[in-house]
Amino acid sequence: MKVNQAKRFKGGQWEFAQNEPLKEPLVLIFGDRFLLESEDLHQEVKDLYPDGHLVFGSTSGEIMETNVFEESITLTAIEFERTQFKIVSENVSDYVDIEKMGLAISNEFDKEQLRHMFIVSDGSFVNGSGLIEGLESAKGFSASITGGLCGDGARFEKTLTSYNENPKQGEVVAIGFYGDTLEVSYANFGGWTPFGPERTITKSEGNVLFEIDGKPALDLYKKYLGEKANELPQAALLYPLTVQQNNNSEPLVRTILNIDEAENSMILAGDVPLNSKVQLMMSTMDDIAEGACSAAELAMRDRKNKPELAILVSCVGRKLVLDQRTEDEIEEVADVIGDQAKITGFYSYGEMAPFAGKNECQLHNQTMTLTLLSE
């Protein structure tokens, strides 16, 4: 595996850490939404890698090596030696529901040979839980899935992604990997602690939460936030919800992406099933960094070979908690996985990965999620 990496700031030139000739590389371009709106960007990267497969995604912060950047674009170009990949891109506007789109995407792949699928998804229109359900519903689908929902800083205005064209809204890009020599491992971990009373979701539809304990969800949430309620929806990133569907299921963290004052409801990044138990959560800088370390340890636990590439997807809420110490969690990961792995990734509106030791993918919020690859 050969990897080139570069970054560019607004108005600047590409700064390459490595720049060797690559044959038909997979090129991951993560960047600030405003920079990705440039009509010249696709052609600019195409000029660098004429035979490259270009995947774009907007972020809430760009990760490269142990650095976290803002208002920049990072580029990671990967030439695989013995691994094949295929990329499928669909737009949510072309489908009646997200599950059908997920199914259509999976059906484009040779499911019998597919080893792993990495998703770069729109983060504004896409219900991540529904997307995963659709992807895994295809007959014969058994591959593992990781990835994330694209970000837009803490603005929540719009997110952009694309494959081999200028980035746009509503797009979901799936990268499918094939090959017996490819080793993929993954893990996620949060570091958040529940607080306050455990309550029950009494009215919800998909990823929209209407009532908790028979009371309007938004009113109850605002009561807990106090003065910070005036800063919604951004303030919600500091106080996500833990949602547990039943006693036998793993609790999932859910971030509030937006609020609907008229309906007195909250729109979350993934499903919030009826009758699930729900609690508020909070965290500290040290807890967040330790959570990233735990995620890396889980991802490395059963690996046979050292990773050559690490794709990190971490939640924008973690970035807001860490503030000036954002790079702490990246450094924790790097210390565990070793310096032989090139690190890329982004801060997101939602992370996709199975729980450690399992194959069924879940949508997570407020986690550090790793995908480690080697040939």
CATH number at residue 268: 2.40.10
Q: Are residues 138 and 156 in the same domain?
A: yes
Q: Identify the pLDDT of residue 18.
A: 86
Among residues 247, 264, 282, which one ends one of the domains? 282
Judgement on whether residues 87 and 131 belong to the same structural domain of the protein: yes
Do 322 and 260 lie in one domain? The reply is no
Give the C-alpha distances (Å, rounded to integers) separating 242 from 60, 91, 273, 313: 22, 30, 12, 19
What token pair was written down for 348? Answer: 């997101």
Same domain, 81 and 204: no
**Mean pLDDT, the chain cut into blocks of 10 residues (375 residues total):** 97 92 97 97 97 98 97 98 97 95 98 96 93 97 97 92 98 97 95 93 95 95 90 86 90 88 91 94 92 96 96 94 93 96 97 89 94 98
Q: Sign of the CA dihedral 340, 344, 349, 353?
A: negative
Entry pTM: 0.92
Domain coverage including residue 236: 193-282
What pLDDT does residue 173 have?
A: 98
CA 186 to each of CA 295, 351, 362: distance values in angstroms, whole numbers, following the listed order: 8, 12, 12
69 φ, ψ (degrees, to nearest 5): -115, 160
Last-in-domain residue among 250, 282, 314: 282
The pLDDT of residue 147 is 98
Q: Are 255 and 348 in contact (CB under 8 A)?
A: no
Please tell me whether residues 176 and 323 are part of one structural domain: yes
